[in-house]
Structure 1
């Protein structure tokens, strides 16, 4: 498969920015180029990359444009968080470089440029009113509370002392936010709910695919909640276009909430049919309804008609601390902290697993999963895990803390039971590991006498880390 089919489209970008001495970045221009291989599959990466390119920051003058390029390599296609996982770090790169240029801490530059209530995102990024009832905004408060709770300033001081005392091992810490807009306009979802027999058994079927994201569990819970029946009475049937016709897609992290919405639509009709027969006992309610001739089979449909591309945003902040070996380039993630605003989660445990898994998956993109090509043949030359390195057990942070913002239901008109999407929204926070490594490399370069700015490519493999640390044989001296 790896030899015949491409993967995530690589991004090459150019940018310019203007900022004042207080760190306010007034102007940003981003130009994107996604390599699509021999097909046009990277068009989705380009579209989403542009829409998410502002991340959490307001700039008076902001533009982002780009194109896809083709080559003789296998065709690339959309992969989890397409485009977003590449352009959000580009926004963070602007922050980092501006901070270096004006001599301010990068965190301070981030804080001064965060969107505030009443700001409007650029049209190419959705044109949403930040902090409105339909697009709530919790990043500034999450940033402030997390920075204090995670003791970021004290840890930076400890890192500085460690780096001063150690020549060949360096530590770094980076903190960043994420705004992941959810576009639900393409989700057209069918579902049906059937109450079968006087024992109150319930079957729900929908047109979406359970692929490990916990979709069926969430749908079953939503049905039990709305009907007022025991959860163990609900069975989720197999996905079939016969039972869930005209469903458009499974993907984009919006399937769980939209499938729940379709099932809830069917349940609302059943609740009305059951109302005259309702009693505290579910089985008795169903038996009475059947005796009364009620139809207990209803179809549900979800098809929103939003006026804007994004109906809300899942938001979060993350901080990552790493230690690198300057001699070998090896990197260890010592600690990662993540806080996500999931609204009122449809299932907190499932969403927690999605947040943890999405973050670790992203670590591969930023640190290890380098794709190598033969120049003469355009063939991929690292076709197995001996050379191509997805995240493994030793890549997981030694201390990994993930939490959800409490008691903040999603207030959007399109919210399903106050929830927000999980899975892809957390992924770009993995870039904090990249920038934490950059901070460690910067300390190593300073010891080597190089204090100027420098470029780094992702993934930040051990080879790239070692080379960026500027270690030479002349630096090895016996004391």
Structure 2
């Protein structure tokens, strides 16, 4: 964690920018900035039942279909499994197709969650393909000049079973605690607050994330972006309001309840995966990425609180600690600045 922390601190020029934020705040009464650095250590554990995968090769043209027990919910599970199949069999990705989840073909799987289901499914798929490769190896040896389609053709004529099924079930964790491994990450978040309105912008976010040897860097960076922005909603906008008498939710629609939108994305967003960090305990050296970045988004809360307290000092002369709760909505930020509109003289 220390190495990662220092790398991000240097890459983001945190110390220099910290001084620039202080200088900006001293020279501006109605705009204030805040910058914080947030670390995260996140534990992952492999849930017991595992994920089963069925791989089938078709003799006519050598195409491959995959059926598996994980649920694709936008985390890229299908893509990672298809890539694992294509890579292990040594064929182009466009020859592999994913079938929809079928609880008859893939029964009794573990819940898709905890950010590790993709890893489970990938390992099951790799094992299936290794089994198929073993069955095909005699034909590859006998016909070294044959391409994939011809190898499948002669194997089919020899009545080789061109389907394989496997269910990766994690071994019982023998280490201390409940986790199989930990993910490490850090983020630098800089914000700007409008003292008069309470509105704010996320000026820049730098994230360095440990994905081990990523199964798919594009997908993992997308997961980091999505999780971080989901956390931004929780720390800035998404306040649930209840009727004090009936307990009913007063803002049960997007007219009153505001999730983050396109304009809430950081203006300057820089995400990098930690290099040369293969995870010996993960599938193909990888680490999961889906949930930990939510923790990093707490930097938005602390940066906004920092900017609010700078405004409060200017307007009241008090540097006393201000207790704050999430989300730091426009209203709470505006009130926390200590600016009394009624006493304003034009």
TM-score category of the 2 structures, normalised to the smaller one: over 0.9
Deviations 1:84-117 (A, max 9, x none): xxxxxxxxxxxxxxxxxxxxxxxxxxxxxxxxxx
- Among 300, 306, 329, which residue is 2:166 paired with? 300
State which drifts further: 192-201 or 158-167. 192-201
CA–CA separation in structure 2 for the residues paired with 1:228 and 1:312: 30
Quickly say closer, same or farther: Cα 1:197–1:375, change in 2 above 3 A.
Answer: same
Greater relative CO, 1 or 2 (CA 8 Å, sep 6+): 2
Once the two structures are superposed, the pairs formed by residues 83-102 of structure 1 within 5 Å of their partners are: none
CA contact (8 A) 2:55 2:128 kept: yes
Shift of the alpha carbon at 1:198? 4.0
Count of aligned pairs between the two proteins: 338
Shift of the alpha carbon at 1:473? 4.2
State which drifts further: 155-164 or 261-270. 261-270
Quickly say closer, same or farther: Cα 1:231–1:371, change in 2 above 3 A.
Answer: same
Match of 1:316 in 2: 185
- Among 214, 220, 239, which residue is 1:351 paired with? 220
Quickly say closer, same or farther: Cα 1:177–1:293, change in 2 above 3 A.
Answer: same
CA–CA separation in structure 2 for the residues paired with 1:206 and 1:369: 35
CA–CA separation in structure 2 for the residues paired with 1:195 and 1:309: 39
Match of 1:430 in 2: 297
Match of 1:449 in 2: 317
Match of 2:335 in 1: 467
CA contact (8 A) 2:49 2:108 kept: no
Secondary structure of the residue that 1:316 maps to in structure 2?
Answer: strand
- Among 209, 213, 229, which residue is 1:360 paired with? 229
Shift of the alpha carbon at 1:187? 4.7
CA contact (8 A) 1:185 1:306 kept: no
TM-score (norm 2): 0.94
Matched, 1:204 2:34: no
CA–CA separation in structure 1 for the residues paired with 2:47 and 2:101: 22
Match of 2:131 in 1: 269
Matched, 1:458 2:326: yes
Shift of the alpha carbon at 1:315? 1.7
For structure 2, the 5+ residue unaligned runs are none
Match of 1:66 in 2: none
Match of 1:397 in 2: 266
Quickly say closer, same or farther: Cα 1:425–1:241, change in 2 above 3 A.
Answer: same
CA contact (8 A) 1:187 1:258 kept: no
CA–CA separation in structure 2 for the residues paired with 1:293 and 1:444: 78
- Among 239, 248, 271, which residue is 1:370 paired with? 239
Compute the RMSD of aligned alpha carbons.
1.5
Matched, 1:171 2:171: no
Match of 2:307 in 1: 440
CA–CA separation in structure 1 for the residues paired with 2:158 and 2:61: 16
Deviations 1:334-380 (A, max 9, x none): 11111111111111111111111111111000110000000111100
Give every structure 1 segment of 4 or more consecutive aligned residues whose post-TM-superposition deviation is greater than 6 Å.
Answer: none
Shift of the alpha carbon at 1:295? 1.2
Deviations 1:185-233 (A, max 9, x none): 3352111111111421111100111122211111010011112222111
Shift of the alpha carbon at 1:327? 1.9
TM-score (norm 1): 0.68
Match of 1:290 in 2: 156
For structure 1, the 5+ residue unaligned runs are 1-138
CA contact (8 A) 1:185 1:309 kept: no
- Among 195, 210, 215, which residue is 1:341 paired with? 210
Shift of the alpha carbon at 1:314? 2.0
Deviations 1:104-132 (A, max 9, x none): xxxxxxxxxxxxxxxxxxxxxxxxxxxxx
CA–CA separation in structure 1 for the residues paired with 2:48 and 2:302: 34
Match of 1:59 in 2: none
Secondary structure of the residue that 1:390 maps to in structure 2?
Answer: coil
CA–CA separation in structure 1 for the residues paired with 2:345 and 2:5: 44
Matched, 1:241 2:107: no
CA–CA separation in structure 2 for the residues paired with 1:438 and 1:187: 44
Larger radius of gyration: 2
- Among 49, 57, 62, which residue is 1:195 paired with? 57
Secondary structure of the residue that 1:417 maps to in structure 2?
Answer: helix
CA contact (8 A) 2:47 2:110 kept: no
